[in-house]
Structure 1
Amino acid sequence: MGDTLVPATQIKSLIETLIENGVIQGDLVESWNKKSQQMKEKEELLQKTNDGNEGMLKVVEGFARGVNGFEKNRPKAYRWCQKLHDVGSVKGRARLGEYLVKGLGTQKSFTLGMLHLGQAAFAGSDLAAYLLGYAFAKGKYGMPVKEKEAIFWFRKCLGPCAYSHLSSKTKAKAQEHLNELLDNQNRGSDEGSASSD
């Protein structure tokens, strides 16, 4: 037989025919059908990448989270972020910046990552604006703590954005961070006025 694995397309076709005709039944058939559906969805998504950015974003999410028939593979997700960036996608640039500052599927690069995040945020990405707000609020990704900058970017990500791809859960976190910063600011101004009395 040898030690080389090759696809057994005839066997696969035979199994598919037996399943379609109801000869084989049970839990294994359900697993087979589920896997087949996932593979079909994956192929459709890969075809859609030729049609534009949304299909490519779904491929990124597929590899990032192991959904839509894709295996979880952060380096592949990162490469798809690069492809999205290369075709001029603002969402792709925001994701690329995120992957770079967090070191997801690639080596961390705060400088390059923050550059991409800044450009994407100014172009209207709520995700990029959130990450900039978080960076300035917590002193992350090589940035100093700057509350005014953090407040600006959190407000920006919560307002109307041209490119909205921030989850509702993360928007809620942005609102929490913003409230905390505004409370700190109010406390500081209250203390300043009390000391001048």
Structure 2
Amino acid sequence: MSSANKRKRDPADELICPISLELPWDPVTAEDGRVYERISIETHIKNHPRGLKSPITNKKMGKKLVPAIQHRNMTDILVEDGVILGDLAAKWKEKVNQKKEMEELLKKADAGGACAMYNLGVNYENGYDGFNEDEKLAFQWYSRAHKAGNVRGTSSVGMHLLNGWGVAKNEKLGLVHLSSAAGQGSNYAAKWLGVAFANGEYGLSVDKAMAISWLEKAVGDCPEGPLTDESIQDAQQELDELKSS
């Protein structure tokens, strides 16, 4: 093959994770000598509890992973200097900005910002904005938000206790928090109290009147979110069905 037909080598080819096919933000070297995005190779390892093999060579390998700090630094330099361009570079820069936003949010929360604490809980619960899903950390941040006087934090603490998300299940205490938040205007708490009374959940007896009352608050005069429009529509549908039955 002539040199004219040879594909020009791209530095990014040696840096991308062979599983995610992106520049690894948290690169680790596996026992097959390859560098991967940590979450990608950890998922591969988790999905192969027996007879673990390299996803590249298909040869047997162990589970040990070593942080590839130089790999991360080199990627940062090549993107910053414009050596790596296109979608790979754009996604990397997005992660850099996301990391800065994460650090800023953590800084605000550590400084006592109740809203920041609640938002951290949301991010950890759902894996938003670069955060890994972690129900325990979500509950911890919701608890801190609640103690700082954030009503949304109170409602989330209630739901986590009721369902055992990231904390030992405690329906009585969960209902205390949920009722408190609903009383303070949380449409989220009001909706789920209404649903609980409608279906007799969390140790509550079925109470149509109470269900209608809380659902009306959820779709009406509750000043506190964070119900989405879709969730409000669901609450309205539940309410309409109760009133027509």
Normalised-by-shorter TM-score class: 0.7 to 0.9
In structure 1, the gaps of 5 or more residues are 185-197
Which structure 2 residues correspond to residues 108-119 of structure 1 after superposition, within 5 A? 108-119=169-180
Give the counterpart of 1:156 among 178, 196, 217: 217
1:55 maps to 116
1:40 maps to 100
Give the counterpart of 1:121 among 182, 186, 206: 182
Which structure 2 residues correspond to residues 9-24 of structure 1 after superposition, within 5 A? 12-24=72-84
Q: Mean Cα displacement is larger for which, 174-183 or 154-163?
A: 154-163
Give the counterpart of 2:90 among 30, 45, 53: 30
Which structure 2 residues correspond to residues 44-193 of structure 1 after superposition, within 5 A? 44-49=104-109, 50=111, 52-184=113-245
**1:119 Cα shift?**
1.0
- The residue type equivalent to 2:194 in the other structure is G
- The residue type equivalent to 2:89 in the other structure is V
**1:174 Cα shift?**
0.8
Query: How many pairs does the alignment contain?
Result: 181
Q: Mean Cα displacement is larger for which, 75-84 or 154-163?
A: 154-163
**1:138 Cα shift?**
1.0
Separation in 1, partners of 2:171, 2:242: 24
TM-score (norm 1): 0.83
Separation in 1, partners of 2:147, 2:106: 17
1:194 maps to none
- The residue type equivalent to 1:179 in the other structure is D
In structure 2, the gaps of 5 or more residues are 1-63
Separation in 2, partners of 1:62, 1:44: 14
- The residue type equivalent to 2:152 in the other structure is K
User: For residues 33-67 of structure 1, what are the alpha-carbon distances to aligned partners after superposition, in whole Å with 9 as ceiling and x for unaligned?
Assistant: 23223222211211222262222222111101101
Separation in 1, partners of 2:178, 2:65: 46
Indicate if the aligned counterparts of 2:191 and 2:218 stay in contact, CA closer than 8 A: yes
Indicate if the aligned counterparts of 2:115 and 2:145 stay in contact, CA closer than 8 A: no
TM-score (norm 2): 0.68
Separation in 1, partners of 2:163, 2:65: 39
Separation in 2, partners of 1:34, 1:141: 42
CA RMSD in angstroms comes to 2.0
Moved over 6 A (4+): none
**1:157 Cα shift?**
1.2
Q: Mean Cα displacement is larger for which, 130-139 or 53-62?
A: 53-62
More helix by share: 1
**1:144 Cα shift?**
1.2
Separation in 2, partners of 1:125, 1:149: 16
Q: Percent of aligned pairs with the same residue?
A: 36
Separation in 1, partners of 2:239, 2:65: 58
Indicate if the aligned counterparts of 1:41 and 1:69 stay in contact, CA closer than 8 A: no
Indicate if the aligned counterparts of 1:62 and 1:70 stay in contact, CA closer than 8 A: yes
Separation in 2, partners of 1:11, 1:83: 36
- The residue type equivalent to 1:152 in the other structure is S
